């Protein structure tokens, strides 16, 4: 039986959580009815803590709706011991992807389940899909409907038993799971399957007409054809390249070491060195890869560049500057940035996390407006700073960052600036193309790239730039936004989406026989390239 935490200690955690939300998050009230409504929910939360205390899981179930009410996909709270055992996930043995506001099976754990690919989810354990969506709204923050769908399917709420059980307390026999799906022919059927256990990867996707770049590398490229008319460039993560770790280390952040060691182990069989600098030096360099990609494209006069961001949920966005440097040059890149505003909440919490350079005195207009902790920095806000000044601030900020990375060597000699831009740039997008990946997609659209796939779960006017925290007594772990970004100042938050120029509809997916790389095949057809 799980140990109970006494009520007084849980109240301490609620107060600690509230202080973090109110002092670190840019605006924890805006999506939840205002400050009074926020505090009404807070006091109701405290009132609902029973006198006998609660287990950690019970406490998590109680406070998740409070945090989810912020409606911020970057701010959430998770149990410290959450089970994300990919070998024995314990949930539905099917992987769902959002498409046309539904969840469609795109992969399965066993060959005998391949007939489920293309099916649409209708219910689980007798609970309708619409009710599951409503429950998900109270578990994790979200930016849009596609954000909700992505959390359920693409990021595996339904795949992991511990997460699914929290969503569906009606689920009693945890060795099997019952669900209803609609088949591509329109016929609905209920199934009961054993939970996902002893899973062997890679997952089963059925047949694909286009196998390309099957590698462990998170960032890699290849060419579609022998003549190199079309390049394929995948970015599955923006947190796994050398320059990102160089920047985190140079800025004094202290929460990336575990991730660094994991990435090192993927690429190296040697023992992990003691020196952080030595570990970083053995991580693949984005600079080297980009030099190779753009050199090959220029030599071959490549016409089409397909950038695959379907699996990329973000990371360190400095790589956006690197890519745009090759495509259009540094100054043109800066001009794109001044159209997008960001507001930073200044909090001692960030300073204590180890990051340097976020003190109020470091803000460029501090002499005009002396700032204090809990103020906001509008240094990167085009509504507050004129464009000429903003360009100057962005230039200094990016130069400071670039100088801390191994990219600086090629940046300084200018050989590769504005080096080569193919005639056509295509971005492959999914609901999981979020955070910095969304920003890259938005920047590429500004230079006439087209987007193919499913709408991103992220909106353009959103909270982000997360930091990790842990509550003292329950040891629950959370992530909180520290900035507010405005990519589309002319739009309301709910309207600030990037809709695909060519949407992968269910009908279109069916035409491609539910191919794993249907988005790529669609892009090739749009470009009139024979696959």
Which residue from 390, 336, 334 is spatially nearest to 364, judged by alpha carbons?
390
Whole-number Å distance between alpha carbons of 176 and 17: 36
Contact 389, 382 (CB under 8 A): no
Indicate the burial class of 161 (C-beta count within 10 angstroms; 0-12, 13-18, 19 or more). Answer: buried
Distance CA 191, CA 188 (A): 10
- The mean pLDDT values, 10 residues at a time, for the chain of 531 residues are 89 97 96 96 97 92 94 83 76 95 95 96 96 91 90 85 89 94 96 94 86 85 94 96 94 82 90 91 96 98 97 92 98 92 90 70 90 92 91 93 96 95 97 93 96 94 90 93 92 87 96 94 87 45
Question: What's residue 339's pLDDT?
Answer: 86
What's the CATH class of domain 219-241+284-339+384-459+497-526? alpha beta
Helix pair 242-250, 286-300: axis angle to 10 deg? 140
For residue 232, what is the enclosing H or E element? strand 230-235
Long-range contacts of 504-510 (CB under 8 A, 24+ apart): 504/99, 504/452, 504/453, 504/454, 505/99, 505/100, 506/99, 506/100, 506/102, 506/104, 506/120, 509/99, 509/104, 509/118, 510/118, 510/184
Cβ 395 vs Cβ 334: under 8 Å = yes
Residues 6+ apart with CB under 8 A from 267: 282, 283, 284
Q: Please, what is the end-to-end C-alpha distance for the chain in angstroms?
A: 57
CB 45 within 8 A of CB 62: yes
The 10 Å CB-count burial string (b at 16+, else e) for 243-264 is: bbbbbbbebebeebeeebeebb
Nearest to 481 by CA among 4, 67, 52: 67
- Rounded to whole angstroms, how far apart are CA atoms 490 and 513? 39
Q: Is 519 exposed, middle or buried (0-12, 13-18, 19+ CB in 10 A)?
A: buried
Secondary structure of residue 368 in the 3-state scheme: coil
Coil, helix or strand at residue 105: strand
Question: Could you give phi then psi for residue 192, rounded to 5 degrees?
Answer: -125, 120
pLDDT of residue 354: 59
How far is 64 from 59, CA to CA, in rounded Å? 9
Buried b (16+ CB within 10 A) or exposed e, 200-223: eeeebbbebeeebeeeebbbbbeb
The structural domains of the chain, with segments of one domain joined by +, span 1-70+341-381+462-494, 94-194, 219-241+284-339+384-459+497-526
Within 143-268, residue ranges assigned H as helices are: 145-152, 161-167, 242-250, 257-267
5 forms bridges with which residues in the sheet?
54
| Closest C-alpha to 130, from 145, 147, 108 | 145
C-alpha to C-alpha distance for 525 and 194, rounded to whole angstroms: 39
Q: Choose which CATH entry (1.10.357.10, 2.30.42.10, 2.60.40.10, 2.60.200.30) describes domain 94-194.
A: 2.30.42.10
């Amino acid at each position: 039986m799980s140990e109970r935490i006494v009520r007084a200690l849980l109240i301490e955690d609620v107060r600690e959580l509230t202080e973090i939300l109110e002092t670190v998050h840019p605006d924890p009230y805006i999506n939840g009815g205002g400050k009074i409504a926020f505090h009404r929910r807070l006091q109701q939360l405290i009132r609902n803590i029973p006198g006998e205390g609660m287990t950690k899981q019970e406490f998590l179930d109680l406070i998740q709706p409070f945090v989810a009410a912020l409606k911020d996909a970057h701010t959430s709270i998770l149990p410290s011991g959450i089970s994300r055992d990919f070998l024995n996930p314990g949930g539905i043995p099917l992987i769902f992807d959002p498409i046309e506001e539904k969840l469609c099976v795109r992969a399965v754990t066993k060959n005998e389940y391949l007939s489920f690919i293309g099916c649409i989810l209708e219910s689980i354990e007798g609970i309708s899909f619409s009710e599951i969506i409503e429950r998900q709204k109270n578990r994790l923050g979200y930016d849009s409907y596609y954000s909700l769908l992505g959390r359920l399917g693409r990021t595996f709420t339904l795949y992991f038993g511990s997460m699914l059980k929290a969503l569906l307390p009606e689920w009693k026999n945890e060795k099997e799971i019952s669900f209803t799906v609609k088949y591509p022919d329109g016929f609905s059927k209920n199934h009961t399957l054993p939970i996902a256990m002893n899973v062997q990867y890679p997952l089963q996707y059925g047949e694909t007409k286009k196998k390309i770049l099957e590698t462990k590398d998170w960032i890699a490229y290849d060419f579609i054809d022998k003549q190199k008319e079309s390049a394929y460039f995948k970015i599955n993560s923006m947190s796994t390249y050398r320059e990102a770790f160089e920047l985190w280390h140079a800025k004094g952040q202290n929460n990336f070491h575990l991730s660094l060691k994991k990435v090192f182990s993927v690429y190296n069989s040697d023992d992990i060195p003691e020196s952080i600098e030595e570990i970083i030096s053995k991580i693949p360099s984005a600079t080297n890869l980009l030099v190779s990609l753009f050199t090959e494209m220029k030599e071959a006069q490549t016409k089409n560049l397909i950038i695959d961001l379907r699996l990329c949920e973000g990371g360190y966005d400095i790589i956006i500057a690197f890519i745009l440097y090759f495509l259009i040059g540094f100054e043109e890149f800066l001009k794109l940035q001044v159209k997008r505003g960001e507001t930073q909440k200044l909090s001692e919490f960030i300073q204590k996390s180890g990051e340097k350079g976020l003190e109020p005195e470091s803000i460029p207009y501090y002499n005009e407006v002396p700032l204090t902790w809990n103020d906001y920095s509008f240094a990167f806000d085009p509504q507050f700073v004129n464009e000429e000044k903003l360009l100057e601030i962005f230039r200094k900020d990016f130069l400071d960052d670039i100088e801390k990375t191994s990219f600086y060597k090629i940046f300084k000699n200018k050989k590769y600036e504005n080096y080569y831009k193919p005639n056509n740039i295509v971005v492959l997008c999914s609901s999981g193309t979020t955070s910095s990946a969304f920003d890259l997609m938005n920047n590429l659209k500004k230079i006439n790239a087209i987007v193919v796939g499913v709408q991103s779960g992220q909106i353009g006017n959103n909270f982000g730039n997360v930091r990790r925290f842990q509550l003292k007594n329950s040891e629950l772990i959370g992530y909180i936004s520290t900035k507010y970004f405005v990519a589309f100042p002319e739009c309301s938050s709910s309207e600030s989406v990037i809709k695909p120029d060519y949407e992968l509809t269910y009908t279109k997916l069916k035409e491609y026989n539910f191919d794993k790389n249907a988005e790529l095949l669609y892009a090739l057809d749009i470009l009139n390239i024979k696959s």
